[in-house]
Amino acid sequence: IRRITVPQIRARKGGEPIVALTSYHAHTAAIVDRHAEIILVGDSLGMVMHGMESTVGVPLDLMVMHGKAVVRGTKRALVVVDLPFGSYEESPSAAFRSAAHVMKETGCGAVKIEGGRRMGETIRFLTERGIPVMAHIGLTPQSSHVMGGFRTQGRDEETWPLHEEDARVVAEAGAFAVVLEGMVEPLAARITASCPIPTIGIGASPACDGQILVLEDMLGLNPRPPKFVKVYGALAEQIEDAVRRYADEVRARAFPGEGQVYR
Ligand code: KIV
Ligand code: NA
100 and 208 both lie in a single domain? yes
The whole-model pTM stands at 0.97
Q: What is the pLDDT of residue 147?
A: 87
Beta-sheet strands, E only, within 98-161:
110-114, 133-138
Q: What is the pLDDT of residue 2?
A: 87
177 and 241 both lie in a single domain? no
Q: Is 58 in the pocket of ligand 1 (CB under 6 A)?
A: no
- Predicted confidence (pLDDT) per residue in 65-75, tens digit: 999 999 999 99
Domain boundaries, position 43: 6-232
* Residue 87: closest CA among 128, 47, 46: 46
Q: What is the pLDDT of residue 249?
A: 98
Is 172 assigned to a binding site? no
Cα separations (Å) of 80 from 16, 83, 124?
20, 10, 17
Examine residue 158 and state whether it is found in any structural domain, yes or no: yes
Is 114 assigned to a binding site? yes
64 and 163 both lie in a single domain? yes
Write down the ipTM of this complex.
0.99
- Predicted confidence (pLDDT) per residue in 81-130, tens digit: 999 999 999 999 999 999 999 999 999 999 999 999 999 999 999 999 99
Amino acid identity of residue 182, one-letter, is: G
Q: Is 42 in the pocket of ligand 1 (CB under 6 A)?
A: yes
Greatest Cα pair distance in the chain: 74
- Predicted confidence (pLDDT) per residue in 152-209, tens digit: 999 999 999 999 999 999 999 999 999 999 999 999 999 999 999 999 999 999 999 9
- Predicted confidence (pLDDT) per residue in 243-258, tens digit: 999 999 999 999 999 9
* Residue 229: closest CA among 205, 203, 260, 256: 203
User: Is 158 marked active-site?
Assistant: no
Total structural domains within the chain: 2
Q: Is 43 in the pocket of ligand 1 (CB under 6 A)?
A: yes
